[in-house]
A and B are shown apart, each in its own frame.
Chain A
């Protein structure tokens, strides 16, 4: 656990190195600020020294000193302000860097990771955990520097009075840091548990709020509430432990100081009685300095616990950042001239090693052919696109696009050459125009409208409050499932890649509109290799190849007429359309 924490610290420092100039600047400002702050009391002391008694006050000298004090005040305040700004700047920049880094990393994580991890937990890492880290870092940088500088300053002053007792203080006070460190170690794991539980809770919130309508439709509010409260109660318990135990540091270290203080008083008093150079005056000022010296220690120990929390949080972010990313594209990756010839050899794949899904799949598709994939639900159609697009990597075998293994093609180029419309319609929050132009942000308005017309989306878009500039998404206009599907089709219409994958693309569109889209699809599919997962007879009938899939295997392959004649699984499926 401790090892982990040290690693985390190293990683944080590594990311801070870009800001070394600002950090040194902040350190210098802190030094100046502390030096002046310690100098002001000295000046005031001198001024007071000029007030010997009635009638004998040197007003001129006092005035001069006070003027100097005023200048010092201004300077100290300015330095302090600049230091805070500098620390803010470093903290917020570095947390931004870490957030960006985490986000960039998420872009490169394999889908298998993202599918298996609650999104709310990832959100919690990138948002809340980094936030807590920022709080800790800010507090640390603001107080740690000045604290250390104050300690050094008072130390010098103490040594100048009586180095023997000073040594006692110097040796004893770090005791408090030991105590702080001990408690810190104990609380680090509590803080980790707290952030973990927070992540878990965010996952519950994310899932419940994201699907609030389903929750309500089922009257599941109370059960969801109970589930939430269960996590919430656990969070309460572990938060209380973490916060309480970490807050023990301050009183405990303060107790150590009072021991030190009592010790100094005892030794000092005995030294005075024993006779020698040590006077009562010396003892008084010494006790004062001892006090001043321990205060920053106190603050630092407070900062240390805050930093425990920060480290526990940022550690989780680093975990995500260090998650292995998908296999990078090969250096010598080739970008073939894609004509759409697809060959699949001995392909095997499974989501879980113990449940093989696709085994020894073979397929040969010539450019421009239309392939319909049919089969009962769950037969592996969706997996097909996962593999074709390299969202997931096959366990064995090859997918060759124009003779090149897709593993050797950069993902970007591969995906650019495939247009897909999935059954899960997903649109980003933004305008309708931005959504249609997703694949080609440089498309002209005419091209966008044209694509929308081909997808038969134009007429409903026109009727929206702001037409193509209507905002959709979280707080924008809500579209029906079918309308969303039309937009997804328009999105592909605009790109016209050499290959198409339509996954039950028109399931929520009424058949009249679908017929019209079908025509547009037919034009679009002309000369393009296309795969269609469809349940509609007309789509299937027009295909060049029909793949009949069942439990991850292609059981039949051929055109409509041939397959009907064969009177096998396909014929059975076909007839069921009219069976009642």
Chain B
């Protein structure tokens, strides 16, 4: 909770003025009985009609002033609460964007989404109500206690005793329910996850006729949510009755002691009435307070969940010092890689060297470590041992963003974002002109895809590009990477959905580019890597072959196996 309070900074004025105006309003409210007393004592007794009218007008005036201060207070409270939550969300997003690949892997998306939405909303509610009510209630409670002391110090001790008891109850319940509310939010994560997964897998789920099963498992999750909500509610619901019992028992005690003291002549009947009135006032305030405390407890529980994210170290924010232009030479020296939580290394002892402008093919079986290898170059993951060098400089020493801005990546999964084609392509470079975009599209063999769309570059793409075929998406993601005119281009099995003709044309076009990038082509197809300057053959995380197509075909058994499985000898001869 402490961690998130720093986002309150800058709203100090609102945080002080809000409650202050609220107090002002409360004070005006407290003045009304005095005015009434004046009306009775002077107006009625003296039969002064003019005075009565004047005093009633005064009451209206007090009402107006009260209204103005209340409105001001509400405004400050709302402004602080909304501003705070806006900054909190923004900070969360920034934090999430700063997470490394491995952190993203371990956290999970659903919980991030609930934390950014539901949890932040709860915190906002809490702050808003706290600013509106927090000062007012203790003010009234303690005020009433002090007034009691002025009447009869001994009887007022009952007040002094009951207030700590009340705080004990209030804070005790708060402590007990806090973890319960955290559990509620965790169950809500589960519900969020169920909806997201259901939507993302809708085709497969429907193909397997899983609708009713999905409903069933969703209902299980909402059931779990309800039972956690109910158990938190059962304890929270004790707050009101318990404070009620405490106060009223104090009243019983007060009346009993009061009766004895009246009997012995220490107190008058009127004083007992006054004391009793103060006790009632405390009760009214406490009821409001109890509701506030429940909201606050929820807010703190949610705040902790947010704080937990904000506290994680995001390694990705670390910046190296070296931020210069690169030429595109890549070298691996004895590189090992291991995923967080994985049992074994996914890459072992990889060494090779590529000159700027060369094309490297990376080939190997499923799970051989091809993606892991190329992910090390833009530091999407870091090597567990050994060094990856770009232009002879260890990538760990380089500014990550600067490095990545010069590398074009086409990921395995062709993801596009909701927005126009132009917006999507400009991910590559924000200031790219339309001409740049068309050039990139030309190379990526995606010109026709865009030409066919109504509005061309302005055509909208639905979420995830669901209105495009797999091959169309892939070509657009390739264009997106090319738009930045990268020094290093990484195509991670990104032509898998392309037909062979398009695949071949694509490779030709990249080869003919004016500033030819150092290109890594990860593929299953021997045809895609065959004409590379160097081919890296991976098998189970090990580099088992390195060299040109002819060299490998002569000497590398794994490569031979891959190649001949795709180009049976008889087909090869008729080619």
Contact = CB atoms under 8 A, between A and B. Distances in A.
B66 A254 contact: yes
A445 interface: no
A438 B210 contact: yes
A211 B417 contact: yes
B388 to A, nearest CB: 16
20 contacts: A73-B249, A76-B241, A99-B191, A122-B199, A127-B192, A131-B188, A203-B418, A207-B463, A216-B101, A217-B378, A225-B90, A247-B78, A251-B70, A266-B56, A273-B49, A273-B52, A378-B449, A428-B201, A510-B366, A580-B508
Interface string A241-276: 001100110111011001101110110011011000
B183 to A, nearest CB: 14
B310 interface: no
Interface in B197-211: 197-211
A222 to B, nearest CB: 8
B497 A423 contact: yes
Contact of A460 (B268, B367, B428): B367
A96 B222 contact: yes
Nearest to A221: B97
A209 B366 contact: no
- The contact size tier of chain B is 35 or more
Contact of A261 (B59, B116, B233): B59
Given A251-B74, A474-B110, A80 B240 contact: yes
B229 to A, nearest CB: 5
A47 B496 contact: no
A351 interface: yes
Contact of A426 (B201, B211, B241): B201
A212 B252 contact: no
A550 B480 CA distance: 25
A219 interface: yes
Contacts of A225: 90, 93-94, 97
A351 B462 CA distance: 12
Given A84-B237, A255-B64, A511 B36 contact: no
A342 interface: no
Interface string B80-98: 0111011001100110111
Given A201-B89, A508-B366, A580-B531, 19 more contacts: A53-B265, A85-B230, A88-B234, A205-B112, A206-B196, A209-B96, A209-B109, A210-B196, A232-B86, A233-B86, A247-B78, A266-B53, A391-B203, A422-B203, A477-B342, A510-B366, A512-B365, A514-B524, A573-B500
B204 A77 contact: no
B515 to A, nearest CB: 19
B218 A100 contact: yes
A378 B462 contact: no
A298 to B, nearest CB: 11
A202 interface: yes
A497 to B, nearest CB: 10
- Binding site secondary structure of chain A: helix
Interface string B562-575: 10011010010001
Contacts of B280: 41
Most chain A CB within a 10 A radius of its CB, from B62, B94, B380: B94
A207 B418 contact: yes
B482 to A, nearest CB: 12
A284 interface: yes
Contacts of A156: none
A48 B496 contact: no
Nearest to A459: B367
- The contact size tier of chain A is 35 or more
A516 to B, nearest CB: 10
B60 A429 contact: no
B34 interface: no
Given A127-B117, A377-B472, A511-B566, A251 B97 contact: no
B193 A474 contact: yes
A514 to B, nearest CB: 8
A577 interface: yes
A312 to B, nearest CB: 14
Interface stretch (B145-153, B154-162, B255-263, B350-358): B255-263
A212 B104 contact: yes
A309 to B, nearest CB: 10
Contacts of B366: 460, 480, 482-483, 485-486, 508-510, 513
Contacts of A258: 32, 59-60, 62-63, 66
A263 B63 CA distance: 12
A131 B501 CA distance: 53
Contacts of B501: 376, 572-573, 576-577, 579
Contacts of B378: 217
B404 interface: yes
A178 B456 CA distance: 54
Interface stretch (B3-11, B170-178, B319-327, B405-413): B405-413
Given A207-B418, A243-B78, A57 B259 contact: yes
Interface in B224-261: 225-226, 229-230, 233-234, 236-238, 240-242, 244-245, 248-249, 251-252, 255-256, 258-260
Interface stretch (B40-48, B136-144, B328-336, B432-440): B40-48
Contacts of B201: 426-428
Nearest to A74: B245
B526 A217 contact: no
Nearest to B402: A219
Listed from nearest, the 5 A-B pairs whose CB atoms lie closest are A377-B471, A482-B366, A576-B501, A54-B265, A258-B63
B82 A239 contact: yes
Interface in A77-122: 77-78, 80-81, 84-85, 88-89, 92-93, 96, 99-100, 103-104, 106-108, 111, 114-116, 118-120, 122
Nearest to B83: A236
Contacts of A577: 500-501, 527
A301 B257 CA distance: 40
Interface in A521-573: 535-538, 572-573
Interface in B393-408: 401, 404-405
A69 B265 CA distance: 25
Contacts of B471: 376-378
Given A57-B262, A77-B245, A255-B67, A106 B371 contact: no
Interface stretch (A8-16, A20-28, A410-418): A410-418
A263 B343 CA distance: 80
B454 interface: yes
B17 interface: no
B368 interface: yes
Contacts of A389: 203, 206-207
